[in-house]
Structure 1
Amino acid sequence: MTVTSPAATVAAPHTGLNRITADDDLFFKLHSLYPNALVNQLAYRFDTALDPDLLARWHAHLATGFIARRVRTTRFPIARAHWEPATESLPLRWSDTPVPDDAVLDWYLDRAAVEFDPARGLVWELSGAHTESGATVVTLVASHVACDGGGMMHAIVDSLDRLNRGEEPDRGASAGRLVGPVAGRRRSAADLADACGQLRAVVRGVRAARRARGVSEPARNPRPAEPLLPHAPTWQAADAIVQVDLAEWESVAAAHGGTSNGLLVGVAVGLLGRSGRISDGADVRVDIPHSMRGADDPRANATTGLPISVTYRRGERTDLPAVRAALKAAGRAYGDPATIPPIQHLQPVQMLLPKVVLHKFARTAKAPECLCTNMGRTAQQIAVLGGHRARDVIMRPVVNPGPVELFRRVEVGVNLAFSCDDDTATLVVTGADPDRFPTRETLRQLLAAEFADWGLSPRFW
């Protein structure tokens, strides 16, 4: 399932051990319960046949870069674990069997199923293959324990820049230097000091939570109990990749008084309504990841979630000016500790919870009903691999196959991820409610109808 961290924590210092944040800790503990559920994926499609040796050289840069990290736990129960450079990685996964051109999306989905081990540093995998028409498909998959979308982008930009300049892999000269040092002999003293700091953070957090106890977030809609469609015990969420001319996307957004980001939210809410997941007039909670990553930021995860409430009206387009106002208000609220909900002040307390307790909470937790990730103009920053420019670049949070009853229990809805270059807007859409988006074809039909209402001309993969 896709999980949005409730709040970002302060960046770790550049000296000493690079301690994990509350976000990292949450994903690390959830990894033992849902090992392959929280994954980010970069996918390329090139028109030419790339040499596998080129991917091997890129792999070498990634293996000494920003996501080449492992979790090192502590001897003190209260002290935080920390990041250390990984000394091993999953090998390049090159397929000698050409991929059918009409099965590229399925190939991407298959390559997202990876067994990761954060304690060993096996937290990412690079794969590639030629297609039957002589093109090349490439995918990089990374565990959410090791990076959020911004961290993954940092690792990709840095490694590709070094590769394209012909430089040799070098942890000290690349973004890999930010991961942190290997713990030395004085680790026990450092852990004791961190444990004391964590206790102080708990006290501050509890006090802040008490002061903010009147603050609340938008509520989510319960999942309707009916219908329950027949499915196999293990279910693959419906995925679609759709592209639109960027000029058309921005023109439609402006014509309806909104922004590119607002139109993304508007389409998502309309899609959720068309599926029958929510009723006419319902206020939909939309979660929007927002990067808090700064320059030379060593954190694996540095993202906060901005929740807003958006009204769905059957037969009408989403009110984009209202979305714009809600986004501005949410940004202001999350910039002031006095208007941050209590649960987010309690992240230091969350880090003290043993894994068994967190697992109990996780089994009753709910996934976002509507998650909209806007990565902006990221595609053009990472489109060139060894002198070859990709025809398409896609980044997306992955919803991997799982028990159909798990999808129903956590009440996951729709996830939309948007990115663009100078010409094309690309949306990766996941309908993860098995009874509203039972098949990929159902999802495409609903998307096509929603796009038509906005006057958009989608191109489906």
Structure 2
Amino acid sequence: MTVTAPAQVSATETGLNRITADDDLFFKLHSLYPNALVNQLAYRFETRLDRELLEQWHAHLAVSSVARRVRTTRFPIARAHWEPATSTMPLVWSDEPVADEDALDWFLARAQVEFDPESGEVWQLAGAPLASGGTLVTFVASHVACDGGGAMVALTDSLNRLNAGLAPDRDSSSGRLVGPVAGRGRLAADLADARHQLRAVARGVRAARKAKGVSEPARNPRPVEPKLDLPETYRAADAIVQVDLAEWNAVAHAAGGTTNGLLIGLAVGVFGRTGRIGDSAKVRVDIPHSMREADDRRANATTGLPISVDYRAGERADLPTIRAALKAAGLAYRNPETIPPIQHLQPVQMLLPKFVLHKFARTAKAPECLCTNMGSTAQQIATIGGHRATDIVMRPVVNPGPIELFRGIEVGVNFAFSHDETTARLVVTGADPDRFPTREALQDVIAAEFAAWGLTPRFW
């Protein structure tokens, strides 16, 4: 994720809901790596939900703020904009019960969806009964159309309306945030936006020059060896871990840290235990931070705060140091003069043709350690039509792809944390094929790191 730079023109400045630099980046990457980046919400209920209830929720989502499509323009420099979706993917319902032990695999399979941002087919709702009598439900959305915060806006509003017995309606729901359909004045609007963009480019270049001495923490190069003999298509290893919340909080407090600090400390420990880095290495950790405001019309409104964390083999991460680094990173990203130059150049990025961005993307590197803390926000959407979920998790999805792609972009580990009143849940993705060839390999490393902290993990 990248921060919206001060030089960036607002999405609504020229009337239409123009896409942001982050939206533009995800949209262009979609054409290179279709559906590689999606967000998923996964529910597990002890009660049986019927198909009709999910169809009703689907109808609300179809007019929500996630039901949007990209309307491109042929006018040079002017940005594309968002309009209400013209097409919706139907509910996927399975009458075949899923075995309880196969719930995680069912969720993973449902995340592989072919989305189309230009028609608005950018999200999908699915459900299936559990063999034990419960129900599995999943919502998956393209990162082009929403980040985690954007998804929460649509999900919260649609469920509130469903649970209140209201009828689906775009004008009185979150769907009103998507924006108007371009009319006869589209050419004039595009001309105005082109002028705004040129001014944004000039401001961004000036700001980048002023911040030319600012740098971000470096990432570690991925060692070439070992290189395991694996299939050409690689599926990242995924695990869902549960810990008693009281135990989690007690461990964090005893170590002089916070929930965020313990999350990051565990992630760095798991990353280091793979042998991908050596003792005393500094790990770059990226922490997504929402910039979303009330009635925000943006699809993506997230910044990434990078920090550097020391890894000591055989030792636990220092939580007070992590806490201080997080505070310093937050302060730095509030001041344009301490934001790295690349962030100020986002308006320039939007002018790059797709083939140029593709060239850069093929050599770009993914985060080596990504930590997302969603806190208790998922509890706002835990009830569907009177049924409260036993378990609910949100996660960024890394879909299967060519194994050499994963090696080339040097993906590491992703941690996504959430909790309810009693239980902390972590969705962990290990996306380095030669360190995490299987789910079992990932779980072994997680179990060892948790044991070092005195935590007792329970795996789905």
- Secondary structure of 2:77's counterpart equals coil
Give per-residue Cα distances to partners, 1:120-150, cap 9 Å, x unaligned. Answer: 0000000000011121000000000000000
Query: Equivalent residue for 2:74?
Result: 75
Query: Equivalent residue for 1:251?
Result: 250
Q: Which runs of 5+ in 2 are unaligned?
A: none
Q: More deviation in 363-372 or 416-425?
A: 416-425
CA distance in 1, matches of 2:168, 2:87: 14
- Counterpart of 1:257, as a letter, is G
1:391 to 1:14, Cα distance in 2 relative to 1, 3 A:
farther
Whether the 8 Å contact between 1:75 and 1:188 is mirrored in structure 2 is no
Q: In the TM superposition, what are the counterparts of 1:71-150 in structure 2 within 5 Å?
A: 71-150=70-149
Query: Equivalent residue for 2:450?
Result: 451
Deviation at 1:7, TM superposition (A): 4.0
- Secondary structure of 1:128's counterpart equals strand
TM-score when scaled to structure 2? 0.98
- Counterpart of 2:129, as a letter, is H
Whether the 8 Å contact between 1:14 and 1:298 is mirrored in structure 2 is no
Are 1:63 and 2:67 matched, yes or no?
no
Superposition RMSD on alpha carbons, in Å? 1.0
Q: In the TM superposition, what are the counterparts of 1:19-418 in structure 2 within 5 Å?
A: 19-418=18-417
TM-score when scaled to structure 1? 0.98
Deviation at 1:6, TM superposition (A): 4.5
Give per-residue Cα distances to partners, 1:214-273, cap 9 Å, x unaligned. Answer: 100000000011100111000100000001111111111111010000100000000001
Give % identity.
75
Whether the 8 Å contact between 1:431 and 1:443 is mirrored in structure 2 is yes
CA distance in 1, matches of 2:233, 2:282: 31
CA distance in 1, matches of 2:271, 2:79: 39
Q: What number of residue pairs does the alignment pair up?
A: 458
CA distance in 1, matches of 2:348, 2:138: 37
CA distance in 1, matches of 2:357, 2:251: 44
Whether the 8 Å contact between 1:290 and 1:303 is mirrored in structure 2 is yes
Deviation at 1:379, TM superposition (A): 2.3
- Secondary structure of 2:69's counterpart equals strand
- Secondary structure of 1:276's counterpart equals coil
- Secondary structure of 2:117's counterpart equals coil
Whether the 8 Å contact between 2:9 and 2:197 is mirrored in structure 1 is no
Query: Equivalent residue for 1:440?
Result: 439
1:157 to 1:330, Cα distance in 2 relative to 1, 3 A:
same
Query: Equivalent residue for 1:5?
Result: 2
Q: More deviation in 303-312 or 419-428?
A: 419-428
Give per-residue Cα distances to partners, 1:164-196, cap 9 Å, x unaligned. Answer: 000000000001000001011001000000000
- Counterpart of 2:276, as a letter, is R
- Counterpart of 2:432, as a letter, is D
CA distance in 2, matches of 1:23, 1:14: 17
Q: Which runs of 5+ in 1 are unaligned?
A: none
- Counterpart of 1:187, as a letter, is R
